[in-house]
Chains A and B, each alone.
Chain A
Amino acid sequence: MLAHLASPRTGGLLALAAVIALLPLVLRNSYFYDVAVLVGLNAIVCIGLNLLIGYAGQISLGHAGFFGLGAYGSAILASRYGWPPLAALLATTFAVALLAFIVGRPILRLRGHYLAMATLGLGVIIFMVISTEDKFTGGPDGISVVPFRIGGFVLQGERIWYWVVGALLLVAVWLALNLIESPTGRALRALHSSEVGAEVVGINAAEHKLMVFVISAVFASVAGSLGAHYSGFVTPAKVAFLHSIELVTMVVFGGLASTFGAVVGAAVLTTLPQLLATFEDYEMMVFGAVMIGTMIFLPRGVVPSLARLFRSHRSADADNKANKA
Chain B
Amino acid sequence: MSPQFVQYLLTGLTVGAIYALVALGFSIIFNASHVINFAQGEFVMIGGMATVSLVAVGLPYLLAIPLAIATAALVGLALEKFAVEPARDASVVTLIIITIGASMFLRGLAMLVWDKNLHALKPITGDKPIAIAGATILPQSVWVLGVTLAIVVALSWFFGRTLLGKAMLATSHNRLAAQLVGINVRMVLFLSFGLSAALGAIAGILIAPITTTSYDVGVMLGLKGFAAAILGGLGSGIGAVIGGLVLGIVETMSAGYLSSAYKDAIAFVIILVVLFFLPSGLFGKRGGERV
From the candidates B86, B104, B289, name the one contacting A196 in the complex (CB within 8 A): B289
Complex alpha-carbon distance, A194 and B94, angstroms = 19
Stretch among B5-13, B170-178, B261-269 lining the A interface: B261-269
**By CB atoms of chain A within 10 A, which of B227, B271, B272 has the most?**
B272
8 Å CB contact of B104 from A252, A281, A284: A284
Q: How far is the CB of B106 from chain A (nearest CB, A)?
A: 8
Q: Are B271 and A117 in contact (CB under 8 A)?
A: yes
The reply to whether the CB of A15 lies closer than 8 angstroms to some CB of chain B is no
CB distance from A68 to the nearest CB of B (A): 14
Q: Nearest chain A CB to B270's CB is how many angstroms away?
A: 9
With contacts A124-B264, A124-B265 taken as known, whether A253 is within 8 angstroms of B97 at the C-beta atoms is: yes
A113 touches B265 (CB 8 A): no
**Listed stretches A164-172, A174-182, A287-295; interface member:** A287-295
B281 at the interface (CB under 8 A from A): yes
Q: B84-111: contact bitstring with A at CB < 8 Å (1 yes, 0 no)?
A: 0011011111111110111111111101
A256 touches B264 (CB 8 A): no
- Within 8 Å CB of B279, what residues of A? 109-111, 114
Q: Mark B265-291, 1 if CB is under 8 A from A, else 0.
A: 100110110011001110010001111
Residues A289 and B101 in contact in the complex (CB < 8 Å), given A110-B279, A281-B112, A295-B87:
yes
Q: Give the A-B pair count, Cβ closer than 8 A.
A: 136
A245 within 8 A of B: yes
Would you give the shortest CB distance from A236 to chain B, in whole angstroms? 13
Question: Given A196-B289, A245-B100, A296-B86: A113 and B93 within 8 A (CB)?
Answer: no
Kindly specify which of A125-133, A224-232, A311-319 makes contact with the partner chain. A125-133
Shortest distance in angstroms between B289's beta carbon and chain A's nearest beta carbon?
6
Query: Would A118 and B265 count as touching, CB distance under 8 A?
Result: no
Are the C-beta atoms of A299 and B87 separated by less than 8 Å? yes
Residues of A within 8 A of B89 (CB): 299
CA gap between A116 and B223 in the complex, in Å: 12
A249-281 interface bits toward B, Cβ cutoff 8 Å, 1 = contact, 0 = none = 100110010000000000000000000000001
Does A285 count as interface, using CB distance less than 8 angstroms?
Answer: yes
Q: Which residues of A contact B261 (CB under 8 A)?
A: 128, 132
Cα distance, A116 to B159, chains bound together (Å): 28
Report whether B272 and A121 are in contact in the complex, using a CB–CB cutoff of 8 Å. Answer: yes
Residue of A nearest to B216 (CB): A284
Compute how far the CA of A146 lies from the CA of B144 in the bound complex, rounded to whole angstroms.
Answer: 51
Give which listed residue, B97, B268, B290, contacts A124 with CB less than 8 A. B268
Chain B residue numbers with a CB within 8 Å of A241 are 223
* In contact, B101 and A114 (Cβ under 8 angstroms): no
Asked if A252 contacts B262 (CB within 8 A), the reply is no
Question: Within residues 86 to 142 of chain A, which ones have a CB less than 8 A from any CB in chain B?
Answer: 106-107, 109-114, 116-118, 120-122, 124-125, 128-129, 132
Chain A residues with CB under 8 Å of B32's CB are none
Inter-chain CA distance A118–B223, complex, in Å, is 13
- Determine if A248 is an interface residue (Cβ-Cβ < 8 Å): yes
Q: How far is the CB of A273 from chain B (nearest CB, A)?
A: 12
* Contact A132 B262, CB 8 Å, known A117-B227, A291-B98: yes
0/1 interface trace, chain B 28-40, chain A, CB 8 Å (1 if under) = 0010000010000
Does B145 interact with chain A (Cβ within 8 Å)?
Answer: no
Main SS class of interface, B = helix
**Could you tell me if A285 and B289 are in contact, using CB atoms closer than 8 angstroms?**
no
Interface residue? A34 (CB, 8 A): no
Known: A288-B105, A289-B101. A128 touches B112 (CB 8 A): no
A287→B104 contact, CB < 8 A: yes
A295 near B104: Cβ-Cβ < 8 Å: no
Interface size on A, residues (CB 8 A): 48
Q: How far is the CB of B49 from chain A (nearest CB, A)?
A: 15
A322 to chain B, nearest CB (A): 32
In the assembled complex, the Cα of A122 lies from the Cα of B97 at a distance in Å of 20
Q: A109-B279, A117-B230, A118-B275 are in contact. Are A256 and B91 (CB under 8 A)?
A: yes
Residues on B with C-beta less than 8 A from A252 are: 93-94, 97
B126: shortest Cβ distance to chain A, in Å? 36
In the complex, A285→B102 CA distance in Å?
Answer: 9
Report which of B112, B269, B281 forms a contact with A282, defined as CB distance below 8 A: B112
A254 CB to closest chain B CB (Å) equals 11
**Do A292 and B105 touch across chains, with their CB atoms under 8 A apart?**
yes
B87 touches A113 (CB 8 A): no
Please tell me if B226 contacts chain A, counting CB pairs below 8 Å.
Answer: yes
A64 CB–B CB distance under 8 Å: no
Say yes or no: B102 contacts A121, CB within 8 Å. no
Evaluate contact between A248 and B265: CB separation under 8 angstroms: no
Interface check A197, CB cutoff 8 A: yes
Known contacts A125-B265, A241-B223, A285-B105: A117-B94 contact under CB 8 Å? no
- For residue A299, which residues in chain B have a CB less than 8 angstroms away from its CB? 87, 89-91, 94
Pick the 7 closest A-B CB pairs, nearest first: A291-B101, A285-B108, A288-B105, A288-B104, A284-B108, A121-B268, A128-B265
Can you list 27 residue pairs at the A/B interface with Cβ under 8 Å? A59-B92, A107-B272, A109-B279, A114-B284, A116-B96, A117-B226, A118-B275, A120-B223, A120-B227, A121-B271, A124-B265, A125-B265, A128-B262, A132-B261, A196-B288, A196-B289, A196-B291, A245-B100, A252-B94, A281-B111, A284-B107, A285-B105, A288-B106, A292-B83, A295-B95, A296-B87, A299-B87
